[in-house]
């Protein structure tokens, strides 16, 4: 099983700042199989990024993803008030499909 470890657990930033979230895998895999989701309280996760760097339909370009091998990042260039949420990475290349434990992005 591929274990995904996200850091930091909580990130406190202000609107307008840049956020960088990390996702590290216990074993290397192709970036083709890495997704990022955003989850707000009481809502289902929403797909942001697939294939490590491809934005899903309707996702603003302030969201970007990158990385390869075991290290992946999600960057939000300029935080908007609606971006404060919990973010999860997920690998879908090898069963069982696994998620990171999440990074909570909170307003400072």
Partner 1 sequence: QLQLQESGPGLVNPSGTLSLTCTVSGGSIGSSHYWGWIRQPPGKGLEWIGSIYYSGDTYYNPSLKSRVTISVDTSKNRFSLNLSSVTAADTAVYYCARRAVSAAMGWFDPWGQGALVTVSS
Q: Given the complex with partner 1, which of 1 and 71 has the nearer CB atom?
A: 1
Q: Is 98 in the site for partner 1 (CB under 8 A)?
A: yes
Q: How many of the other CB atoms lie within 10 Å of CB of 96? A: 7
* Under 8 Å between Cβ of 79 and 16: yes
What x/- string results for residues 34 through 63 when contact with partner 1 is judged by CB under 8 A? -x-x-----xxxxx--xx----x-------
Report the DSSP pairing between strands 34-39 and 46-50: antiparallel
Q: Given the complex with partner 1, which of 33 and 77 has the nearer CB atom?
A: 33
């Amino acid at each position: 099983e591929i274990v995904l470890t996200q850091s930091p657990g909580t990130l406190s930033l202000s609107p307008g700042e840049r956020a960088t979230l990390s996702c590290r895998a216990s074993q290397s895999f192709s970036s083709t199989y890495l997704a990022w989701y955003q989850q707000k309280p009481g809502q289902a996760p929403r797909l942001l990024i697939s294939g490590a760097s491809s934005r899903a339909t309707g996702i603003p370009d302030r969201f970007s993803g990158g990385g390869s091998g075991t290290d992946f990042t999600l960057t939000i260039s300029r935080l908007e008030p609606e971006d404060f949420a919990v973010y999860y990475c997920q690998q879908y290349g090898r069963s069982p499909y696994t998620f990171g434990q999440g990074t909570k992005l909170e307003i400072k």
